Amino acid sequence: MQALDRKLLRDFRRLWAQALAIALVLACGVAIFITSFGMYRALEETRIAYYERNRFADVFSDARRAPLSLAREIETIEGVWAVETRVSGAAILDIPGRSKSAVGRILSIPSSGRFSLNVPLLRSGHVPDPETTDQVLVNEPFAQANGFQIGDVFAANLNGQKRQLTITGTVLSPEFIYTIGPGGLMPDNEGYGIIWMPEDAVAAAFDMTGAFNHVSLKLRADARTETVISSLDNLLEPYGGLDTYDRSQQQSDAFIDAEIKQLRSTSIILPPVFFGITAFLVNMVIGRIIALERSEIGLLKAIGYSNFDICLHYLLLAGLIAVVGIVIGWGVGSWLSQSLARLYADFFNFPFLIYRVSYDAYIISGIIGVTTAAVGAIRSVLNAARLAPAVAMSPPAPPKYKRNTLDHALLALRLSQPTMMIFRNLMRWPVRSALTTLGLSLAVSILVAATFFDDSLDTIVDTAFYQSNRQDAVLTFTDEMHESVLEDVRRLPGVLQAESKQYYPATLRNGHLSKRIAIESSRPNPDLSRVIDSDGRVVHPPANGIMLSDRLASELNVRAGDTIAVDFLSGRRESHEIMVAGTVTQYLGLGAYMDMDGLSALFRQKPRVGIVNVTLDGNQTDNFHAALKEAPNLAGTTMMTETRQSFLDTIRQNVIIMTTIYVIVATLITVGVAYNGARIQLSERARELASLRILGFTRGEVSYILMGETMILALLAQPLGWLIGVEIARLMTNGFTSDLYTIPLILKPATFSFASLVVLTAALAATLVVRRRLDRLNLVAVMKTRE
Amino acid sequence: MPDLIFRTEGVTKVYDTGEVKVYALAGVDLKLFAGEFTVLLGASGSGKSTLLNILGGLDHVTEGRVWFKELELTQLNDRGLTRFRRDHVGFVFQFYNLVPSLTARENVQLVTDVSPDPMAPEEALELVGLGHRMDHFPAEMSGGEQQRVAIARAIAKRPEVLLCDEPTGALDSKTGIQVLEALKNINDRFGTTTVVITHNAAIQKMAHRVIHFQDGRISNVYTNDQRLQPSEIVW
């Protein structure tokens, strides 16, 4: 080993604490990059591969009852590559050993036994014989959650007929990677199952022989999705076409897509913050080392080492710091990715997931890490190279302190000499002071941006579950029912209150802007499912108007008083111009609301009911479920109490994990910046501080100078950090907002105080560690050392 | 007549501080010969260190020309000067300038790593009488020992010239004499052209030639008819 390399290793060992403080900040960036970018790539690649292998369709449509012969016509639509029709229906399930009813979605297996699109992947057992009427495939998560084995039997209420169904196999389907039952907010594998049954049996059960009510299309690469959708809409219209949509509105894909986008924006937004701070810290530390080793550099040059050798020597020192950071980052990133993968495994049902992070992510983060350190070091390193050897070996000129306006102001304040020393030093190195402040403020901002979620979620939960949706259960019917169904529901055991509701799929248009949604209609003054405006008041749309959620209104660029075109996609499929009566605040989904009577008048028909909200007598829940299992025309039940609980549990758990991670991250940044800042100050001012001690200053007074500077910068960093944090939070709420949910920006004083408390405590702890070195300072030795 | 090693013609060095121009060297013509032990004497600021730096390729002239044998140093760029220092020159400084994180042996190795024809670090340390202290760090050695490590480091590459800037400046007389003995030993054994800058007039008695500096100029040059041994020097 060359002597210079040995110097490198020994220097590195001597600097371990500072190097580690920097390496940990870099490690955060690398770990977050590996996790977010790595999982983004893994999820994206898995999705692409899965969709391709199992021929996931591009366009989907539902109709009331279309003849099978229509499939031929659909095939002739320009751009269509493949068509698959099927019969789909809903059923209440009675699972042995489960008192509550479960909900099933029944899908037909083509009579040929071969799927051409949305091909389910057989995981166990076999596909039922097409001739049978009581054999089914179920989706694997449903089977696992209920402990089903091949050959197990459960009951299903198919269109009013209770049937015993035998499980012949389990499958996974690209259509149901993320599955939420009707009315649910979170996946519930135990209570919601996808069931595939031979076509003839399903058709017979749902009175659909010779017909279909769902069609999936695979398009050619050059197809124009919009044109295909509108052609398909036209073809299905006479047969009660309900809604045609592409993948972006397919529930499972929309959720995965939202997750992938979130991962991608995290990988773009967060890591650069850490890389920036790392570069700054490396710059500060290497700069100081080069200043300290000025005469050694001169000597190396005198001996005959070239500028390149010297550049390389110090770049390697920065490189070693980077390597430590990268290796730690890789380790933590791999661990985080695995944890995240486990979390995904709970929510996303992939048959295979490239859960491991691709090598790319490691290589890219490694290159970025090394580059970051090199960028941080390069200015000081080039300065070292530029130092003429004769100059390098003479002591550096003392730093220039100048009097400026600020200085005069400080003088006027009659500050003590130690305080003056603090302020003069801050002004002497304005860029360093500013960057230190910025670094600490980023730690504050990360905490603000991470912890505000808690308050936002509280608001969402309060609005969604305690203000808007106060029902205990939601009953969804297979068909539009007459309003008298309310009386039937009220007669069910345990039902205390029942209120009706109906959804109408529709396209809202304003000029070139349009959005497909479901309009919710209800009776005036509902007590269970209420609409809340931005001031928290319960509102109800007038008979002749429509109320939109804020986000929907802004997507359509309409305000209260404007008129929008509404194309209803069901029933009479009429188009009407309707006035926007007002906007309401809503965090989950994109809501649009109309009065039930107003809508009935518009359709010239009696009110229809698709959904009934109920409150229950808690002691009669089992009886209620038992009755549901026998009820005809019921497509689903959602127990809101359970939904609320599982939603709360999940987000609470996520919030705790998030907060812990970000507190660690912010602490690492703070310690990295504050510790290195204080160490460098100690190194620069050791003689000065030792002189003060010799002159009779106490340890406390001298520590005040050392710690004061860092703590003043830490205090200055607070308001700046709050501001940056609010901006990041704003960016995040915008970035995370999708048609599925909106995150409100709720900022409470506690968020800011918590962020400041963490950062100031970490900064104080870091400077106290440096202070201990000051206590051990050998005064005589310091004074004798040549600068 | 021995071979000419260094030749300077009208060497001037001006430090421009913006407000005043300081003439560190104001036209120096000088010849140094192979195997010669030369002492440069003069007060602080007389220009002797500046000249030594220029001869060693550490600094540039403002005006004038400098040759090392046939090689014109004043024509060389930074890379050429680095090459020149690496191949031909050994330096010894007043404050030793050892790398504190390297042992005596490793400090010498710093040089042997980059020299074309070095001696073993151990051999160089033996030559200065430090064979028994090779694995000690600078902080574990006395000033005289540290300076001898610096000399070992300077001679390990078998340089043709050894340039010493106040090599005994930081030492007491006893250790200073040990250092001077090491220098003389090298000069005698290898015929290394040695230039020693000093404040200490007593040292001039061991030189072949003594050059006095004053205000950036050579004020006086004389040859010692009879050289003293370092051990005979007293200060």
pLDDT at B168: 87
Confidence class of residue A741 from pLDDT cuts 50, 70 and 90?
A: confident
Q: Is B120 near chain A, with CB under 8 Å?
A: no
Edge-to-edge strands of the sheet including B63-68?
B21-33, B4-16, B63-68, B71-72
3-state secondary structure of A241: strand
pLDDT at A608: 86
Residues of B in contact with A390 (CB under 8 A): 50, 53, 58-59
Question: Can you read off the two tokens belonging to residue A741?
Answer: 């949910």
Q: With CB atoms and an 8 Å threshold, state whether B97 touches A296.
A: yes
* Residues listed for chain B: 235
pLDDT at A396: 65
Q: With CB atoms and an 8 Å threshold, state whether A301 touches B82.
A: yes
d(CA A15, CA A290): 13
Helices (H), A60-167: 70-75, 140-146
| A167-171, A435-439, A646-650: range with lowest mean pLDDT | A646-650
3-state secondary structure of A99: coil
Residues of B in contact with A393 (CB under 8 A): 58, 93, 97
Give A183-237 as a 3 state SS string. CCCCCCCCCEEEEEEEHHHHHHHCCCCCEEEEEEEEECCCCCHHHHHHHHHHHHH
Q: Is B78 near chain A, with CB under 8 Å?
A: yes
Half-sphere exposure of residue A262: CA atoms within 13 angstroms, side-chain side: 13
Confidence check: pLDDT of A783 > 60: no
Task: Name the residue among B97, B110, B153 with its Cβ closest to that of A295.
Answer: B97
Task: Name the residue among B60, B82, B109 with its Cβ closest to that of A304.
Answer: B82
Q: A54-100: per-residue pLDDT in tens?
A: 999 999 999 989 999 999 999 999 999 999 999 998 888 999 988 88
d(CA A21, CA A678): 12
Give chain B as a 3 state SS string. CCCEEEEEEEEEEEEECCCCEEEEEEEEEEEEECCCEEEEEECCCCCHHHHHHHHCCCCCCCEEEEEECCEEHHHCCHHHHHHHHHHHEEEECCCCCCCCCCCHHHHHHHHHCCCCCCCCHHHHHHHCCCHHHCCCCHHHCCHHHHHHHHHHHHHCCCCCEEEEECCCCCCCHHHHHHHHHHHHHHHHHHCCEEEEEECCHHHHHHCCEEEEEECCEEEEEEECCCCCCHHHCCC
Segment A707-732 mean pLDDT: 92
d(CA A366, CA A358): 13
Segment A495-508 mean pLDDT: 89
pLDDT at A355: 61
First to last CA, chain A: 30
Judge whether A250 and A60 are in contact, CB under 8 Å: yes
Which DSSP category does A68 fall into? T
What is the per-residue DSSP string for A578-598?
A: EEEEEEE--SBS--EEEEHHH
- A467 or A27: which carries more pLDDT confidence? A27
Nearest Cα of chain A lies from the Cα of B24 at a distance, in angstroms, of: 13
Q: B84-107: per-residue pLDDT in tens?
A: 888 898 888 887 778 887 889 988
Q: A362-404: per-residue pLDDT in tens?
A: 999 999 999 999 999 999 999 888 888 877 776 666 666 666 6
Confidence class of residue A615 from pLDDT cuts 50, 70 and 90?
A: very high
pLDDT at B5: 94
Segment B208-216 mean pLDDT: 93
3-state secondary structure of A27: helix
Q: A458-476: per-residue pLDDT in tens?
A: 888 888 888 888 888 888 8
Judge whether A120 and A173 are in contact, CB under 8 Å: yes
C-alpha separations of A275 from A16, A378, B167 in Å: 20, 15, 47
Q: With CB atoms and an 8 Å threshold, state whether A304 touches B85.
A: yes
- B112 or A654: which carries more pLDDT confidence? B112
Beta bridge partners of A166: A135, A153
- A607 or A342: which carries more pLDDT confidence? A607
Q: Where are the domains of chain A?
A: 1-60+243-396, 88-204, 429-471+640-787, 495-616
Rounded to 5 degrees, φ, ψ at B199 are -90, -20
d(CA A510, CA A563): 8
pLDDT at A778: 65
Question: Can you read off the two tokens belonging to residue B82?
Answer: 């680095």
d(CA A31, CA A29): 6
Q: Is A395 near chain B, with CB under 8 Å?
A: no
Confidence check: pLDDT of A31 > 50: yes
Which DSSP category does A395 fall into? P
First to last CA, chain B: 34
Q: Is B122 near chain A, with CB under 8 Å?
A: no
Q: A673-704: per-residue pLDDT in tens?
A: 999 888 888 888 887 787 777 676 777 888 88
Confidence check: pLDDT of B213 > 60: yes
pLDDT at A787: 42
Most confident of B18-27, B174-183, B209-218: B209-218
The backbone region for A179, taken as left when phi is positive above 0, alpha when psi lies in -120 to 50, beta otherwise, is beta
d(CA B193, CA B39): 11
Give A602-628 as a 3 state SS string. HHCCCCEEEEEEEEECHHHHHHHHHHH
Domain containing B49: what range? 4-232
Nearest residue to A745 via CA among A575, A585, A522: A585
Q: Is B56 near chain A, with CB under 8 Å?
A: yes
pLDDT at A577: 93
C-alpha separations of A763 from A437, A751, B205 in Å: 12, 19, 62
Q: A266-309: per-residue pLDDT in tens?
A: 888 889 989 999 999 999 889 988 988 888 888 888 888 888 99
| A31-35, A176-180, A537-541: range with lowest mean pLDDT | A537-541
- Among all chains, which residue has been given the structure tokens 């259960």? A473
- Among all chains, which residue has been given the structure tokens 């890789």? A330
pLDDT at A781: 62
Nearest Cα of chain B lies from the Cα of A16 at a distance, in angstroms, of: 14
Interface mutation target, options B15, B59, B79, B106, chain A, most CBs of A under 10 Å: B106
Nearest Cα of chain A lies from the Cα of B78 at a distance, in angstroms, of: 9
pLDDT at A416: 72
d(CA B6, CA A243): 96
Q: What is the mean pLDDT of chain B?
A: 89
d(CA A688, CA A683): 10
Q: With CB atoms and an 8 Å threshold, state whether B58 touches A11.
A: no
d(CA A105, CA A194): 5
Name residues whose C-beta falls within 8 Å of residue A662's C-beta, 6 or more positions apart in sequence: A446, A447, A450, A451
Question: Can you read off the two tokens belonging to residue A68?
Answer: 């099978």
pLDDT at B218: 93
Question: Can you read off the two tokens belonging to residue B64?
Answer: 């004038």
A277 C-beta neighbours (distance < 10 Å), count: 27
Domain count, chain B: 1
State the complex-level ipTM. 0.72
pTM for this model (two decimals): 0.78
Nearest residue to A636 via CA among A725, A503, A453, A442: A503
Q: With CB atoms and an 8 Å threshold, state whether B113 touches A2.
A: yes
β-strands A473-482, A634-639 pairing: antiparallel
| A150-164, A446-460, B49-63: range with lowest mean pLDDT | A446-460
Annotate B176-211 with b (16+ C-beta within 10 A) or e (fewer). Answer: bbbbbbbbbbbbeebebbbbbbbebeebbbbbebbb
Dihedral (C-alpha) A624, A629, A634, A638: value to the nearest 10 degrees?
Answer: 60
Segment B43-49 mean pLDDT: 88
Confidence check: pLDDT of A217 > 70: yes
State the sign of the Cα–Cα–Cα–Cα dihedral B144, B148, B153, B154. positive
Beta bridge partners of B11: B28
Name residues whose C-beta falls within 8 Å of residue A303's C-beta, 6 or more positions apart in sequence: B85, B86, B91, B110, B111, B114, B153
Dihedral (C-alpha) A544, A550, A552, A555: value to the nearest 10 degrees?
Answer: 120
Judge whether A703 and A772 are in contact, CB under 8 Å: no
Dihedral (C-alpha) A754, A758, A759, A764: value to the nearest 10 degrees?
Answer: 130
pLDDT at B12: 95
Interface mutation target, options B109, B114, B146, B153, chain A, most CBs of A under 10 Å: B114
pLDDT at B107: 87
C-alpha separations of A40 from A35, A268, A272, A637 in Å: 8, 11, 17, 34
Q: A770-780: per-residue pLDDT in tens?
A: 888 887 776 66
Residue of B nearest to A393 (CA): B97
Residue of A nearest to B53 (CA): A390
Judge whether A453 and A652 are in contact, CB under 8 Å: no
Chain-centre distance for alpha carbon A286: 37
State the sign of the Cα–Cα–Cα–Cα dihedral A187, A192, A196, A202. negative
Question: Can you read off the two tokens belonging to residue A498?
Answer: 């029942």
Q: B3-25: per-residue pLDDT in tens?
A: 999 999 999 999 887 778 888 99
d(CA A18, CA B210): 51
β-strands A88-94, A102-109 pairing: antiparallel
- On the 0-12 / 13-18 / 19+ scale of CB atoms within 10 A, B117 is exposed
The CATH number of A495-616 is which of 2.60.40, 2.40.40, 2.40.170, 3.40.50?
Answer: 2.40.40
CATH number at residue B151: 3.40.50.300
Q: What is the mean pLDDT of chain A?
A: 87
Name residues whose C-beta falls within 8 Å of residue A465's C-beta, 6 or more positions apart in sequence: A640, A644, A647
Beta bridge partners of A94: A155
Dihedral (C-alpha) A752, A754, A755, A760: value to the nearest 10 degrees?
Answer: 120
d(CA B22, CA A104): 96
